[in-house]
Structure 1
Amino acid sequence: MTETTVAEVMAELAALEEPKVRAVNEKHGDDHGVNLTKLRAVAKRLKVQQDLAVELWQTKDSAARLLALLICRPKLFAQDELDTMLREASTPKVQDWLVNYVVKKNPHVEDLRVIWMADPDPVVESAGWALTTERVAKKPDGLDLAGLLDVIEARMKDAPDRLQWAMNHCLAQIGIEHPQLRARALGIGERLEVLKDYPTPPGCTSPFAPIWITEMVRRQDGG
């Protein structure tokens, strides 16, 4: 792809910038002002373009990086490329999309999960927990679920926000998916009280693990 194409896309993203959207995003630690529905419309028009995606990522602009993650081919990235990209993903939304839209579809996902779970950077480690939560739900064989609960019990209360959120999601997923560990997961959630007072909009389920687990199990049972 030519430099002009990147310039054209950047100009289009700049034109889509909305101060009100940026203000809302900045409250969540993100630094772009493009409505995500409009961003997805741009991606739909561009279709899959791996070379353009790589160039857009290199701009370091958050909106461009989000677009890049929508138009890339996830399986084409090498393991070390994805590791570098995660460490460069400076905002929660970019990290979230990178993990969910790209890493989860990449053949190196399990190797990256193991590496990131052991990383000293809490933001990188949170990505490892996100991938672990995916395995808890879809491929739990081989995971030490009780051991994960041990780590969550010992560390979640004092973990930085993004890591705490990721650990909490894993705690809830274990409780939802694995009945034999549900009582322990509920107990950990009750004792630690992480996200107990999190403001939850009407009609949404609280991220407080005991409420989350109980509600999802009720739905699974047809309650």
Structure 2
Amino acid sequence: MNLETVMQELEALGKERTKKIYLSNGAHEPLFGVATGAMKPIVKKIKINQHLAEELYATGNYDAMYFAGIIADPNAMSVSDYDRWMDAAYFYMLSDFVVAVTLSESDIAQEVADKWIASGEELRMSAGWSCYCWLLGNRKDDEFSDEKISNMLDMVKNTIHESPERAKSSMNNFIYTVGLSYLPLHKKALETAKAIGPVEIKREKKKNSFLNAYENIQKEIEKERLGFKRKHVRC
């Protein structure tokens, strides 16, 4: 399959209702409104194709960019490649659910994520923290440094309330993910979440929302899901 045929197939899968949902979350034209699950049959035909992924991502079409993340070869991409993808990720569904997800399956994931967290740029920070959520929720605990993750919890505790809105959301999710999926620091994550308390997220044209990692971790403990790891990150 080439760029033209994939674009035609994606367009045929588009739904107006899905498109409206994506637009309300920050997507803009061009896009078709394809549900992510509907993409699976095309993914099976293509599997991994980095060249095609690059062509699709460069279209600027949200659905094509999302699909690009699924068929990309994470280890074929360099630091500059990930930076280039982030430059084009204009809202959180691209930064956190396309670029960060693809990065999380690469060998340079922590290196790039650390750089983005330190950047001070809202979507890069959000993608960096999100990448760690995907990593911690999938990889074995012994692949991480307890000291490093502990220091990151401290960073969240000290800066979350003053951070950019999208970064706040991903930082809150980081605490939740450590509390649920990274057993060595489960207790510290709970203590950190309790100390932080509810996190207010301000959103344009929508009511402000409040996130509470402490309550969400407790709910998972009650469901006996402590230590949960997902088998796959990308669909």
Residues 77-131 of structure 1, C-alpha deviations (whole Å, 9 max, x = no match) = 112111211221123222212211x211112212202211111211101111123
Question: Contact conserved, 1:40 with 1:70, CA < 8 A, in 2?
Answer: no
Aligned pair count reads: 207
Question: In structure 2, do the counterparts of structure 1 residues 69 and 145 end up closer, same or farther at CA, with 3 Å as the change threshold?
Answer: closer
Q: Which residue of 2 aligns with 1:153?
A: 157
Question: Contact conserved, 1:113 with 1:131, CA < 8 A, in 2?
Answer: yes
Question: In structure 2, do the counterparts of structure 1 residues 15 and 132 end up closer, same or farther at CA, with 3 Å as the change threshold?
Answer: closer
Instruction: State the SS of the aligned residue for 1:144.
Output: helix
Question: In structure 2, do the counterparts of structure 1 residues 110 and 30 end up closer, same or farther at CA, with 3 Å as the change threshold?
Answer: same
Question: Contact conserved, 1:174 with 1:185, CA < 8 A, in 2?
Answer: no
* Unaligned 5+ runs, structure 2: 202-209, 228-235
**So what's the TM-score if we normalise by structure 2?**
0.76
Q: Which residue of 2 aligns with 1:40?
A: 40
**So what's the TM-score if we normalise by structure 1?**
0.80
| Residue 63 (structure 1) shift | 0.9
| Residue 163 (structure 1) shift | 0.5
Equivalent residue letter for 1:63: D
Matched residues in 2 for 1:36 and 1:134: separation? 18
Matched residues in 1 for 2:67 and 2:195: separation? 38
Matched residues in 2 for 1:175 and 1:9: separation? 40
| Residue 37 (structure 1) shift | 1.8
Choose which of 151, 174, 177 in structure 1 pairs with 2:178: 174
Matched residues in 1 for 2:109 and 2:193: separation? 29
Q: Which residue of 1 aligns with 2:73?
A: 73
Question: In structure 2, do the counterparts of structure 1 residues 164 and 54 end up closer, same or farther at CA, with 3 Å as the change threshold?
Answer: same
* Unaligned 5+ runs, structure 1: 197-205
Moved over 4 A (4+): 134-137
Are positions 1:98 and 2:106 aligned together? no
What do you get for the CA RMSD once the two structures are aligned?
2.6
State the structure with bigger RCO (CA 8 A, min sep 6), 1 or 2. 2
| Residue 134 (structure 1) shift | 4.7
Question: Contact conserved, 2:129 with 2:171, CA < 8 A, in 1?
Answer: yes
Question: Contact conserved, 2:104 with 2:132, CA < 8 A, in 1?
Answer: no
Q: Higher Cα Rg: structure 1 or 2?
A: 1
More helix by share: 1
Choose which of 136, 161, 168 in structure 2 pairs with 1:164: 168
| Residue 146 (structure 1) shift | 4.3
| Residue 20 (structure 1) shift | 1.1
| Residue 136 (structure 1) shift | 5.3
1:45-124 alignment to 2 at 5 Å?
45-95=45-95, 96-100=97-101, 102-124=102-124
Task: Report the identity percentage.
Answer: 20
Residues 160-191 of structure 1, C-alpha deviations (whole Å, 9 max, x = no match) = 3310111101122333432441452232232x
Q: Which residue of 1 aligns with 2:199?
A: 194
Matched residues in 1 for 2:213 and 2:165: separation? 15
